[in-house]
Structure 1
Amino acid sequence: MDKRVLIGAGVWVLLTAAAFLVGPILGSAVLLFGGVLVVVAHLASHWGEGTTFEERELARARRRQAKYEANADKRAKDRARWEAAQARKAQREARRSG
């Protein structure tokens, strides 16, 4: 956890204890809103550590290229079947018209 978040959590605990000494409603409000602020501060402390758009797209392109290369033999087989079917179709058309 970030040092600033820990300091904020400590201050929150102290303020909550002091607010409960003043009154239970005020203490509950400080407990609730302060807790939310500490959680938001913790989430925000790691905000910039994620990958950039370019890094994610580069990784995606690499995965797509690997998948494309892995299926090259299947595509070649399908292409050969399609070409054979086109040749048979051309022969049928030639017999009908010829």
Structure 2
Amino acid sequence: MTKRLWLAGLIWAAVSGVAFLALGNAIVATGLAVFGFVLLVVLAMAGDWEQHPDFEERELARARRRAARRQRTAGARARDRERWEAHQARKAEKARARTPGDDGRV
């Protein structure tokens, strides 16, 4: 955790304590303490806002994953290609067998 977050936590604890001591109403003091805690959590979550990868880094990572997946499934794709080519050859053979004029009729 950063110094800034620790400082914000200490300030929140001090302000919450003062709110409970100075204000006579515990409900208002609790509301201020909860509101301050929510702000502290938002500050903690926003601390690494600028440390995300940019578009090019994300796309490079995706390209690496796609390349690894393509390499992993190369055998299955080769078998599918062979079956497709055999299917196309059978289909072409059937088409040649059904051409008009082969059976003596026009």
Give the TM-score normalised by the residue count of structure 2. Answer: 0.82
Greater relative CO, 1 or 2 (CA 8 Å, sep 6+): 1
Counterparts of 1:80-95 in structure 2, within 5 Å, are 80-95=82-97
Q: Percent identity?
A: 46
Question: Which structure is larger by alpha-carbon Rg, 1 or 2?
Answer: 2
Displacement of 1:79 in angstroms is: 1.3
C-alpha distance in structure 1 between counterparts of 2:9 and 2:60, whole Å: 39
Equivalent in the alignment of 1:18: 18
Displacement of 1:17 in angstroms is: 0.9
Query: Aligned pair in 2 of structure 1 residues 85, 26: CA closer, same or farther (>3 Å)?
Result: closer
Give the TM-score normalised by the residue count of structure 1. Answer: 0.88
The structure in which a higher percent of residues are helix is 1
Secondary structure of 1:49's aligned partner = coil
Equivalent in the alignment of 1:69: 71
Query: Aligned pair in 2 of structure 1 residues 93, 26: CA closer, same or farther (>3 Å)?
Result: closer
Displacement of 1:26 in angstroms is: 3.4
Deviations 1:13-52 (A, max 9, x none): 1111111112223321221111111111111112112222
Residue identity opposite 1:2 in structure 2: T
C-alpha distance in structure 2 between counterparts of 1:95 and 1:17, whole Å: 93
Give structure 1 regions of 4+ aligned residues with deviation exceeding 6 angstroms.
none
Gaps of 5+ in 1: none
Gaps of 5+ in 2: none
* Corresponding pairs, count: 98
Query: Aligned pair in 2 of structure 1 residues 96, 26: CA closer, same or farther (>3 Å)?
Result: closer
